Amino acid sequence: MYARILVPLDGSKAAEAALPLALALAVRWGAEIEVVAVPVEKESRASVESYLAALRERMAVGGLVNQLRTHLLSAGEPTARILERLAASHRDLVVMTTRGRGAVRRAWLGSTADGVVRASPVPVLLIPPDRGPNPDGGAAADLEKDGATGTDAVAPPAPFRRVVLPMDGSDEAERMLEHTAPLLEASDPEWILLRVIPPFVPGGSPYLPHMVRDLPEQTQVHAAAQEYLDRMAESVPTGRARTRVVTVGQPALGILQVAEEEGADLIAMPTAGRGGVSRLLLGSVADKVIRNSEVPVLVSRHSGEG
């Protein structure tokens, strides 16, 4: 369970698409949410304060003011200020959209999300802006529509039911089981454990990468991958697991295709991991998955990264 959630906002409706899910999780866990915003320059501080005050009023319409705290960060580079606050406030989950363009600062959220993902000491749940309940009106519009009040105006209490988890044999990927479990619905969630393997190139050329030249027969690679996933399926914390091994030259494409085929509502992966099973560096594809996913992506940075 995550008890203390941080939600960075930039004043845009796209950024506010992270609020409904964050609030739903907070209600489910009895967690506290802190919304933070960063002034661009000294003269913008008043406008940021005004934005946060208005946000608190809008959340009160849904009866959720007690779930929400706001904090005005000192002016500076947004990523650095958010990470400083994350450490100081001892948050254990960040929820934010992958991009936004708002009144507080134009077009900073996308690059800020990148920076937070690369350096956050806690998992980050990234929400595509158009995945919000009402992306045109923002989170507050959803709370206000039809005179809705209470948590039903935000999001269902069990946000995710089917997750795709790419596995490469690394400890980082395997730890995502633990990070993901609290986000799944309590009743019979489904895990799709995925192993992406590169296509076999017979008669390896000396000009091909060492990994490709030395691959054994594709059937043997597939069998080893399947055996590994079967073992990992026994370790899922809750619910049931299915396994898939796919052969594709672009791992990110394979992950996204499986998520679409399976009707997954969450992808979970580390920002980096290198496993003996695949020799696949997940960090090289995580960015592509985040940028192109149509569903939320949960990422976690290995504590040993620089």
Average pLDDT value for the chain: 78
CB neighbourhood size of 23 (10 A): 26
Buried b (16+ CB within 10 A) or exposed e, 172-188: bbbbbbebbbbbbbeee
Range among 112-121, 133-142, 259-268 rated most confident: 259-268
Do 124 and 96 touch, CB atoms closer than 8 A? yes
Q: Which residue's entry shows tokens 């399976």?
A: 262
Across the range 232-258, mean pLDDT stands at 94
Q: What interhelical angle do 109-119 and 78-89 show, nearest 10?
A: 50
- Predicted TM-score (pTM) of the model is 0.81
Across the range 203-212, mean pLDDT stands at 52
Q: Which residue has the higher pLDDT, 210 or 159?
A: 159
Tell whether the model's pLDDT for residue 56 goes beyond 50. yes
> How far is the C-alpha of 200 from the C-alpha of 20, rounded, in Å?
44
Query: How much is the pLDDT for 293?
Result: 92
Tell whether the model's pLDDT for residue 123 goes beyond 90. yes
pLDDT tier at 69 (50, 70, 90 boundaries)?
Answer: confident
Which tens digit of pLDDT belongs to each residue from 93-122? Answer: 999 998 644 444 444 456 788 889 888 999
Across the range 235-255, mean pLDDT stands at 93
Tell whether the model's pLDDT for residue 133 goes beyond 70. no
Buried b (16+ CB within 10 A) or exposed e, 250-279: ebbbbbbebbeebebbbbbbbbbbbbebbb
Query: How much is the pLDDT for 141?
Result: 36
Across the range 73-83, mean pLDDT stands at 90
Q: Which residue has the higher pLDDT, 226 or 38?
A: 226
Which tens digit of pLDDT belongs to each residue from 271-288? Answer: 875 544 333 444 568 888
